[in-house]
Amino acid sequence: MNQNLTTAILVVSFGTSVNETRRLTIDAIESAVGSAFPDCAVYRAWTSRIICAKLLKRDHIKIDSVKEAMIRMKQDGIRDVIIQPTHVINGLENEQMVKDALEFSEEFSSVRFGTPLLTDDFDHEDIIKAVTEEFSDLSEEDMLVLMGHGTTHYANSVYAALDYRFKDRGYLNIFLGTVEAYPAIDTLLRIAAQRKPRTVILAPFMIVAGDHAQNDMSGDTEDSWRSRFEAAGFQVRCVMKGLGQYPAVHRMFIEHIRNIPNPG
């Protein structure tokens, strides 16, 4: 780190144990942030302790928790901290991240937070534009199904709201689903049975194309989304590209940092 820098951006991600997708997504986001804010040091923290423990044991790679990163920044002489999460929604992980960071608020001149990817109407419009540009060759005969994570937190309603907004913008064959909440795979299968698409295209609506994308979405087990759509008679194509690979998503996070009010 440049010892003259006293302002840092802590990029907080859930994390992934899949190194290839980490390089394409989390690493790429952090690099984009560093390029956009050359006067700030960029630090990393992950909120999934399970993934961090797995990486440490398997690859001997140590990833800081939010608390560990705050301690590290204090030791490095950082005075002003900007925290930008790469979480998709403001759910349980993001709320805990804020609590953990605020425990150290007295240790710095300022601690400020950017917002998750989907926080306001502008974000929803931006992500619709990013997805439709990414799948600009989507045929009306096909059906694009985006797999989100899902949560028991009330913020899960973002997925259904965004699904509705796609339709409101005229994208009638783009659907949102979640692994662990609503809309679920059963709902998507019923919609597919009604629409009878030529091809069902599955893509992760997560920052990384990690374990969920590789197993729950495209895996060989009979309960994966790919297997269930194929068992229902549909031709399926899986796109293994996380949102963190979209340059438009990098720009969204950068804009979130720029929109953080100045301290004081």
Q: How far apart are CA 126 and CA 173, in angstroms?
A: 18
- The CA dihedral of 204, 96, 124, 37, to the nearest 10 degrees, is -90
The pLDDT of 42-54, averaged and rounded, is 97
Top pLDDT among 161 and 263 is at 161
pLDDT on residue 31: 98
Q: How far apart are CA 24 and CA 38, in angstroms?
A: 21
Instruction: Identify whether 149 is a catalytic site residue.
Output: yes
**3 state SS of 243:** helix
User: pLDDT tens digits for 181-216?
Assistant: 999 999 999 999 999 999 999 999 999 999 999 999
User: pLDDT tens digits for 164-174?
Assistant: 999 999 999 99
The pLDDT of 7-12, averaged and rounded, is 98
CATH number of 7-118+245-258: 3.40.50.1400
Using the predicted structure, report yes or no on whether residue 4 has a pLDDT greater than 80.
no
The pLDDT of 250-256, averaged and rounded, is 98
The answer to whether the 7-118+245-258 and 121-242 domains have the same CATH topology is yes
**Active-site pick, 87, 149, 212, 256:** 149
Indicate the pLDDT class of residue 3, thresholds 50, 70 and 90: low
Task: Domain 121-242: state its class.
Answer: alpha beta
Quick check: 151 and 92 in contact, CB under 8 A?
A: yes
Give the residue from 138, 82, 132, 84 showing the smallest Cα distance to 108: 82
Could you tell me the pTM of the whole model? Answer: 0.95
List b or e across 32-61, with b for residues whose CB sees 16 or more CB atoms inside 10 angstroms: bbeebbeebbbbbbbbbeebbeebeeeeee
Using the predicted structure, report yes or no on whether residue 157 has a pLDDT greater than 80.
yes
Q: Could you tell me what percent of the chain has a pLDDT over 70?
A: 98
**3 state SS of 239:** coil
Domain edges within the chain:
7-118+245-258, 121-242
Pairing type for strands 80-85 and 41-46 reads: unpaired
Q: How far apart are CA 79 and CA 184, in angstroms?
A: 44
The pLDDT of 47-74, averaged and rounded, is 97
Beta strands in 93-198 (DSSP E): 110-113, 143-148, 174-178
Quick check: 108 and 78 in contact, CB under 8 A?
A: yes
